[in-house]
């Protein structure tokens, strides 16, 4: 069995739909913090998949981030996530975000390993009236 990756990188190109202006902020055509967080979470989810057994998924439970510099529309932005530790069902990640000019964000993220079917059933039960 191959060794599981401890790091994963995911790159997006910043579009108009990902700007601060789009979410009602006074910001201009730059990557919004919620979209940077989404990139951080998406990268961590991809890395988490390497550690799951069949029938498992992960859910995001906590994220902290610092948005350090603006990234304009059209520029590529990359989240580099590293698995710090696994404690029972908890997976802790440390993440750095870079655009084409340098580091623009950093943070940490907690994902919880859960049974896919049980999670779907809990969600469905909440939507019943």
Say which of 67, 71, 81, 106 is annotated catalytic: 67
Between the CA atoms of 114, 116, 120 and 126, what dihedral angle is there, to the nearest 10 degrees?
Answer: -10
CA distance 70 to 55: 39
Say which of 19, 41, 81, 109 is annotated catalytic: 41
Burial class of residue 53 (count of CB atoms within 10 Å of its CB; 0-12, 13-18, 19+): exposed
Q: Can 109 be counted among the known catalytic residues?
A: no
Ligand-binding site membership of 66 (annotated)? no
From the CA atom positions of the chain, what is the Rg in Å?
Answer: 16
Q: Can 19 be counted among the known catalytic residues?
A: no
Q: Can 41 be counted among the known catalytic residues?
A: yes
Ligand-binding site membership of 27 (annotated)? no
Asked if 118 contacts 59 with a C-beta cutoff of 8 angstroms, the reply is: no
Binding-site entries for substrate: 60, 111
Binding-site entries for CoA: 60
Binding-site entries: 60, 111
Residues forming the active site: 33, 41, 67
């Amino acid at each position: 069995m191959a060794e599981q990756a401890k790091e994963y990188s995911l790159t997006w190109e910043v579009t108009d739909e990902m700007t601060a202006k789009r979410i009602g902020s006074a910001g201009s055509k730059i990557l919004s913090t919620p979209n940077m967080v989404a990139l951080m979470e998406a990268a961590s989810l991809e890395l988490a998949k390497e550690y799951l057994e069949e029938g498992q998924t992960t859910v995001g439970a906590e994220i902290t981030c610092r948005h350090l510099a603006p990234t304009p529309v059209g520029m590529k932005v990359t989240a580099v996530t590293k698995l710090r530790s696994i404690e029972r069902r908890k997976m802790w990640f440390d993440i750095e975000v870079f655009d084409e000019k340098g580091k623009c964000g950093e943070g940490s993220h907690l994902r919880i390993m859960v049974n896919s079917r049980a999670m779907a059933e809990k969600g469905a039960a909440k939507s019943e009236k």
